[in-house]
Structure 1
Amino acid sequence: MANMMARLRQLIGTRAVQIIVGVGLAGWFLRIAAVLWYRPTCTTGAADCYTLAGDAYYHHHQADLISKGHWFINPHEYIVNGHIIDSAGDPPLYALYLAFWSRLGLDGVTDHRLVSTLAGFALIVSLGLLVRRLASDLAGIIAAVLAALHPLMWINDMMLLSEGLYQPLIVAVLWAGYAWIEKPTTKRIVILGAVISVAALTRAEALALFGFMVIPLVWWLSDVDWREKLRQIVLCGLAGLIVLSPWVIYNNLRFEDPVTLSAVPGTVMMAGSCDEAWSGEAMGFWTVCFDSRELWDELEAELPGSTLRGESRVVYDESVFDSFNRKYALEYTTENWERFGVVAVARMGRSLELFKPGHSLRLNYQVEGRWEEPSTFGLGFYYALLPLTIIGGMVFWRRGIRLTPLLSMWPTIMLASAITFGLTRYRVPIDIAMMAMSAVAISWLFEHLRPDAEPHN
């Protein structure tokens, strides 16, 4: 038995990278099969296929328009009414990624779903290699397997959601963070700032990593005076600002009101700013708060003609409409401030599947369109990783490996959830950190609980 285990460890050690890449290919084929056979593209809205809707509609058509020279305009207004209206409904990176493939002729819905599965392959391989570097060959292989199988990862890849591209970018942020820990140079802190901003150009909440990852990493650096720490933090922020500035400047040259990464934060806040989202069955989730609060008269008063039908309707730019939504979302929050703490906890609980998980599960496949079977399996997968995540964190701590990059994912997502609403797919960075820590735990358990394990303290 001992000889067999020794040969197995030697085999894994010499072939770990090849195995991780092989797992990545297997996970990629799984995603391709899901796109082509498990949930093929359709237009009927049936439960056993994929129908373009919501954010995916925006991403797909935005990419198609970009490939044809219409840079970041509202796809719905253009397709339905022929209006060219500037749009920043999401940060730009995912639409640009799809536009690249559209330019090459892969411009169909299924085409875009298939090229999005490449991000899944990148996630599997990059996470496996990262964990291998931090822990062991076996842990890296296990991390790759978890990323390949986790339904909450491959659902995003096949649904044309920006979270699909966000997943490998979060791993890139972790790589940059641990590279800086290994060698805290100016070059590496600049790279970390740049990579965080690239991730934020996919999902804006990644900006919080400057506060929750960078500052603790640098400030807890030993044998360095406060001036050097402050210099590195500033350099990291400047690097991030340089990466973000072209998009932010572009937005503020074309919109009436100030816009940073997207022109919809007020609209997102509005979706969680009404009685239905602050109490009852949907507490902590989103709902159509604009309609339930009957704000149509207020909208018409502030933006005349915006509520009319047909050709008489006046189309305002997104920033103006978003400012209206932000104003009334904050008004509701201010008027109900005494309950905000409870609602914020409920929102965070939704994202962590600790508050009304059964209700959130139903909403995932009934409202979010994430299908019942993978959503249910994904919830079970998440719960199974929870104890392993704790064990993995303890293993990291005992080995003297800093947990700051991994743990920073929790406050980053909790902040975003607390000010908007709780959503399973918002949790992507946490799920990635959990897979990394769980892989280390499984590897540790395998090494220490096998029958021929050597005695250890």
Structure 2
Amino acid sequence: MPGADDCLVDRGDRWILAGVAMGIVVRVAMLIARLGDAVPFSDTLWYTAQAKALRKGLGFDDLFTGDPTAEHGPLTPILLSPATTADGQRALMALYGVVGLLVLVVVARRLLSPLAARVAVFVAALYPNIWMHESVHMSEALAIGLVSTTILCMLAVREHGRWWAAAALGIAIGLAALARSELAMLAPLCALVVWRHSPGRRLMNAGVVLVAALVVVAPWVALNLSRFDEPTFLTTNDGTTWIGANCDDTYSGGNTGSWTVFCAIDVEGLDDDADASVRSARQRELAFEYIGDHAGRVPVVVVARLARTLDLYGVSNMISGDVGEDKFEWVAWLGVVSFWMLAPLTVVGMRAMGRRDRALLLPVMVTVLVTTVVFYGAHRIRAPLEPAVVLASAVGVSSLVDRWRSRPRGRGAPAVPARST
């Protein structure tokens, strides 16, 4: 493994440089292709409108009712707010995507063998399931970049065992949770990895991870607790997610295992003037009632959710959802085919990795698994997993190449040792 003091790329390694350049070209090309596109009526509209409201100094209030809003985490609209137009916001997101690519390059260089690192850079540069999020007004691109940052910080804790590395890890996790609330699960999972695999004061470092993550999210949590009728921590979106994933439309038929907005529109037993937290609590209550009344279908639905996240079921249905979330249909299909190609290599790579290296990828894998099982299956749910797919599949390619190099060359011929990577 390259040393901790290695630079971003070795100037002599033209493959790494070529991969990074190709990734930037792809992202710029996608940005140019999207310039002038209207923002669809979906979560993208909330992010872009909220960013413009922040730029005007209006705070996190609903643009139509003026009531407090925490429909999603605050990080994405905050980072989009410097732009004055929708195209400017797309450009900012593309820039953040390039930064995320560079972070993933650093991880690959420090974690993987030279061959696997080169493969990882090209996969990260060309993998549609990463760059298709980077010209869209949503949180997935930031989540992907912050997951890469989290892996990098875990690697730093493992190498140095110092409190500052653990603090950086906690900060990265806190920011990830402010982008996508389910990524808060990374805090205890990464703390466990630190406790098990880092040198030095392992228990102290694990505690530093948790405290740093809490410090980052604390201002947002405190704001929400002060302005909503029901206790609200990160978002008021959980009720909408629960009810949209647990209703007749998502428990049978072609939408099984997915999420639908139509189940979240009309909420029984709710006053018209109820705030977002009360609405979310009522939606959550109705969802739990539905789950209890249809417990026999839950195993089938969970399997369908997992199959969706793995692109094994309901692919056309998910593609339609991707298009509704401002993604090109052909890019979404290209992402599906790419995942089909990388998934087996990811399994091979995870088996080939050492236990300590594998532990760096397990927290995000567990997080996406739990999110899928508990909520629903979709490409946006899988998005935080993509950096791990890139890294593990690159190891899979490298291990297969090593096996091919070491195979016997003929009857009675000695095996040719694999060239060191």
Task: Please give the alpha-carbon distance, in whole angstroms, between the structure 2 residues aligned to 1:130 and 1:168.
Answer: 11
**What does 1:330-409 correspond to in 2, within 5 Å?**
330-365=288-323, 367-397=324-354, 401-409=356-364
**Structure 1 residues 111-152: Cα deviation after superposition (integer angstroms, max 9, x where no partner):** 111111012211222112211111233432322221121111
Corresponding residue for residue 41 of structure 1: 36
* Paired position in structure 2 for 1:249: 222
Contact 2:43–2:325 (CA under 8 A) maintained in structure 1: no
Give the secondary-structure state (helix, strand or coil) at the position aligned to 1:158: coil
Secondary structure of 2:155's aligned partner: helix
Point out the more displaced range, 236-245 or 22-31.
22-31
**Are the equivalent residues in 1 in contact too, given 2:346–2:396 (CA < 8 A)?**
yes
Task: Give 1:416's match in structure 2, choosing from 357, 365, 371.
Answer: 371
Distance 1:84 1:288, change over 3 A: closer
Partner SS, residue 408 of structure 1 = helix
Report what 1:209 is aligned to: 186
Where does the alignment leave 5 or more consecutive residues of structure 1 unmatched? 1-11, 44-50, 78-82, 307-313
TM-score normalized with structure 1 length: 0.81
Is the partner of 1:90 in helix, strand or coil?
A: coil
User: Match for 1:171: what amino acid?
Assistant: S
How many Å separate the matches in 2 of 1:418 and 1:247?
27
Q: Hey, what's the Cα distance between the residues in 1 that align with 2:170 and 2:76?
A: 20
Give the root-mean-square deviation of aligned CA atoms: 2.6
Tell me the distance in 2 between the aligned counterparts of 1:86 and 1:13.
Answer: 49
1:64 has 2:52 as partner: yes
Amino acid in the other structure paired with 2:370: L
What whole-Å deviation, never above 9, does each CA across 1:150-200 have from its counterpart, x for those lacking one? 111111111211111111111000001111122333332232222111111
Counterparts of residues 214-293 of structure 1 (less than 5 Å)? 214-219=191-196, 229-290=202-263
- The alpha carbon displacement at 1:244 in A equals 0.9
CA contact (8 A) 1:119 1:167 kept: no
The CA distance in 1 between the partners of 2:302 and 2:77, in whole Å, is 31
Tell me, in whole angstroms, the C-alpha distance in 2 between the residues paired with 1:95 and 1:33: 24
Question: Compared with structure 1, are the counterparts of its residues 138 and 122 closer, same or farther at alpha carbon in structure 2 (3 Å cutoff)?
Answer: farther
Q: In percent, how many aligned pairs have the same letter? A: 27
Residue 217 of structure 1, CA deviation: 4.1
Give the secondary structure class of the aligned counterpart of 2:73: coil
Deviations 1:218-239 (A, max 9, x none): 14668x8xxx654443332122
What SS is found at the alignment partner of 1:42?
coil
Q: Distance in 1 between matches of 2:123 and 2:86?
A: 27
Paired with 1:119 and 1:417, the residues of 2 have a C-alpha distance of: 26
Q: Distance in 2 between matches of 1:24 and 1:87?
A: 38
Provide closer, same or farther for how the CA distance between residues 221 and 125 of structure 1 changes in structure 2, counting only shifts above 3 A: closer
Residue 52 of structure 1 aligns to a residue whose secondary structure is: coil
Give the counterpart of 1:55 among 10, 18, 43.
Answer: 43
Q: Which residue of 2 aligns with 1:15?
A: 12
**Cα contact 1:94–1:165 (8 A) shared by 2:** yes
8 Å contact from structure 1 (residues 163, 428) kept in 2: yes
With structure 2 as the length reference, what TM-score do the two structures score?
0.88
AA partner of residue 97 (structure 1): L
Deviations 1:413-432 (A, max 9, x none): 11112222111111122221
Question: What displacement does 1:70 show?
Answer: 0.5
* 1:455 corresponds to: 417
Secondary structure, counterpart of 1:32 in structure 2: helix
Confirm or deny: 8 A CA contact 1:140 1:439 kept in the other structure. Answer: yes
Equivalent position of 1:88 in the other structure: 70
CA–CA separation in structure 2 for the residues paired with 1:214 and 1:238: 10
Larger radius of gyration: 1
Q: Distance in 1 between matches of 2:17 and 2:236?
A: 39
1:53 is paired with a residue whose SS is: coil
Q: Deviation at 1:374? A: 0.8
Q: Aligned equivalents of 1:40 and 1:245: distance in 2?
A: 36
**Cα displacement (A) at 1:336:** 1.8
What runs of 5+ residues in structure 2 fail to find an aligned partner?
1-8, 410-414
Measure the CA separation in 2 of the matches of 1:183 and 1:318.
44
CA contact (8 A) 1:276 1:283 kept: yes
Secondary structure of the corresponding residue to residue 185 of structure 2:
helix
In the alignment, the residues of structure 2 paired with residue 14 and residue 450 of structure 1 have an alpha-carbon distance, to the nearest angstrom, of: 27
Equivalent pairs, count? 404
Matched, 1:320 2:278: yes
Match of 1:48 in 2: none
Residues of 2 paired with 1:449 and 1:341: CA distance?
A: 41
Amino acid at match of 1:455: P
1:202-222 superposed Cα distances (whole Å, 9 cap, x missing partner): 111111112333214414668
Gap change, CA 1:162 and 1:291, over 3 Å in 2 = closer
- Contact kept, 8 Å, 2:349 with 2:393, in 1: the verdict is yes
